[in-house]
Structure 1
Amino acid sequence: MPVPRPMLATKTDAVPVGEEWSHEVKWDGVRILADVADGRVRLWSRNGNDVTVAWPDVALPHEGLVPGSARPRDLLVDGEIIALNDRGLPDFRVLQDRMHVRRASTATRLAAGLPATYMVFDLLRVDGEDLTDLPLVERRARLAGLDLAPWQVPEPYDDGQMLLEATRAQGLEGVVSKRLSSRYTFDARSPHWRKLAHRHRRSYVVGGWRPQEGTSDRLAALLVGEPTADGLVYRGRVGSGIGGKVSRRLTEAVAGLTRASSPFADEVPRVDAAGTTWVEPVLVVDVDTHGVGYERLRQPSYRGLREDLDPADLEGQS
């Protein structure tokens, strides 16, 4: 068969309602199709690349993949590989050191220190039978009847709004809603699968700014941090949302605040520090970002200058 590529979800602004929809946690991980045949597991990335060698702790034969017969089980499943950060949350960035590994010895070493978990949410083939033309509700029922340990099969939910609020409160990435009657189409973006990622707004202290590439004075990004007991801890660079009018307003705000050294208590990555003008940490801005509890902001977007707040007001913000 051709190299499989997974079906993708369409972005939405609201969780769909109705009995024809089912809802799942949107995992912040790496999308993987796992093909089990002849006692061998092969892992395919979203782009159709064979990434089996990178995930030895996922791509291993085990009893759950072999039925009580002499014939090895034949399966194709869809899911997400995740790993937890130090706050116990699935975090795509934790996986980045493992994603592009092509040496087996390196992958084995990384797996020992950074174990991954495969969350399986769809069954596409079993024992030679193609299930992709079956409705999702039937594929899910067949999946629930399999023992895939140590892989995990997360439970779907009927109440999408409840799941949306729960994932927001827990700092998870969001929700994927799927029509129970939906068929599975490889390498397609389906309107019958809809994804909604949370945006969280918090306030941060400005510690520096960077100009637009090719200029020296056109403010294009802010470096922001979070006040802690150890000082101002760097959280990331924010460029999205800073257009012409906003850039001019921020340029006026940082005028006269330049300092010679970084105000951050920790080291700013070189890629962010290069070309930065450091400023006294007195300005507060609001930033929208995906997820909470991460060391660095994820897909941050500037929302506004908070002239009503100073850095001391942010200490202990949840």
Structure 2
Amino acid sequence: MPYPVEPMLAIPGELPQDRELYGLEVKWDGIRAVLHIDGGLRVTGRHGADFTRRYPEISTFGVPNAILDGEVVSLDPKTGIPSFGRLQHRMHQVDPDPAMLRRYPVAYMPFDLLFLDGAPLFDLPYRDRRALLDELDIGAPPYFPGESDLLRATHEQGLEGIVAKRLDSPYRPGVRSPWWVKVKNLTTREVVLGGWKPGKGRREGGIGSLIMGAFTEEGLTYVGHVGTGLTEAALDHLYALLRPLEIPRSPFRNEVPWRNRWVRPELVGEVAYTMVTEERRLRNPVWRGLRPDKIPAEVTL
């Protein structure tokens, strides 16, 4: 049995045009993990990191000899939807105590089978590996025909998105392959700009990312920072607008990480994002542009 196995990765993109050639899976919002089952259990992540002691709830599913690929998730007890915010409480706990296990339990969502009963399955097509996985009857989430409207269904349920996988694709450990495409659901909202994080590298001397907030009854509340989606022209334009608004202290009521440059919260922008965490942070934000038609007081949580 090979050990460790690097997970195969998907590229970000849109739904393929030739959708009949693909199977669609729900994209689970968690931590990628490979299970090595051979007289015991070892759990590894990217680059062979050993997660076995972090997630003692994960079992062998009663399978004596196999390698499974899947996702470790922590489900919200009210909605049943994976919560990355809940999982963050467990991600760095090497030996979680019983109270942590009870408060933030995890589950494993297997979606691929790479090795079974002494035989490697890497070269089998995805559809065949999934058929073998389903025969194990270990509760693997289903995949759907490429023509199904799974993306809209996940959006309506508040899930992160989907992964489209070619039915004839082999498994290539550690490779980010166009055979797998992840398509995320995005929501948009306005944010108030309260500062910026100085840039590094090619952004040295300018804006690296924007510090975002929204108003609550307590005042301006930090909701995250965004650096994705900012073109060079947009960065130059924002720098020219924000420099005259600089102030010596943070305008946010709550603590903001890192050493930042602060501004009067007078500009409103729009971002797309995948979800809001329990800490009320926008996850995976992408800058869409300024909203001069909005005033900061309108931007509330």
Q: TM-score range by the shorter chain?
A: 0.7 to 0.9
Native 8 Å contact 1:225 1:236 kept in 2? yes
Matched, 1:138 2:128: yes
Matched, 1:119 2:119: no
Alignment partner, residue 90 of structure 2? 98
Alignment partner, residue 197 of structure 1? 184
Counterparts of 1:168-183 in structure 2, within 5 Å, are: 168-183=155-170
Q: CA, structure 1 residues 206+10, in 2 after alignment: closer, same or farther (shift >3 Å)?
A: closer
Alignment partner, residue 62 of structure 2? 65
Of the candidates 199, 203, 209, which is equivalent to residue 212 of structure 1? 199
1:121: Cα distance to partner? 0.6
1:237: Cα distance to partner? 1.6
Question: Which has the larger Rg?
Answer: 1
Native 8 Å contact 2:242 2:263 kept in 1? no
Moved more, 223-232 or 171-180: 223-232
Q: CA, structure 1 residues 86+270, in 2 after alignment: closer, same or farther (shift >3 Å)?
A: farther
Of the candidates 238, 260, 265, which is equivalent to residue 226 of structure 2? 238
Alignment partner, residue 28 of structure 1? 29
Whichever structure has more strand as a proportion of its residues is 2
Moved more, 205-214 or 29-38: 205-214
Alignment partner, residue 70 of structure 1? none
Of the candidates 155, 174, 186, which is equivalent to residue 142 of structure 2? 155
SS at match of 2:234: helix
SS at match of 2:282: coil
1:54: Cα distance to partner? 1.2
Native 8 Å contact 1:15 1:196 kept in 2? no
Equivalent AA in structure 1 for residue 102 of structure 2: A
| Distance in 2 of aligned mates of 1:87 and 1:288 | 25
Native 8 Å contact 1:75 1:125 kept in 2? yes
Structure 2 runs not aligned, ≥5 long? none
Of the candidates 262, 286, 292, which is equivalent to residue 301 of structure 1? 286
1:204: Cα distance to partner? 0.6
RMSD (CA atoms)? 3.0
Equivalent AA in structure 2 for residue 82 of structure 1: V
1:244: Cα distance to partner? 4.5
Alignment partner, residue 56 of structure 1? 56
| Distance in 2 of aligned mates of 1:125 and 1:169 | 35
Structure 1 runs not aligned, ≥5 long? 67-72
Q: CA, structure 1 residues 208+85, in 2 after alignment: closer, same or farther (shift >3 Å)?
A: farther
Q: CA, structure 1 residues 101+293, in 2 after alignment: closer, same or farther (shift >3 Å)?
A: closer
| Distance in 2 of aligned mates of 1:30 and 1:136 | 21
Matched, 1:283 2:267: yes
1:78: Cα distance to partner? 0.9
Alignment partner, residue 67 of structure 2? 76
Q: CA, structure 1 residues 46+213, in 2 after alignment: closer, same or farther (shift >3 Å)?
A: closer
Q: CA, structure 1 residues 145+242, in 2 after alignment: closer, same or farther (shift >3 Å)?
A: closer
SS at match of 1:19: helix
Q: Please, what TM-score do these two structures have when normalized by structure 1? A: 0.80
SS at match of 1:134: coil
- Matched-pair identity in %: 37
Q: Please, what TM-score do these two structures have when normalized by structure 2? A: 0.84
Equivalent AA in structure 1 for residue 228 of structure 2: S
Native 8 Å contact 1:56 1:107 kept in 2? no
Q: CA, structure 1 residues 211+7, in 2 after alignment: closer, same or farther (shift >3 Å)?
A: closer
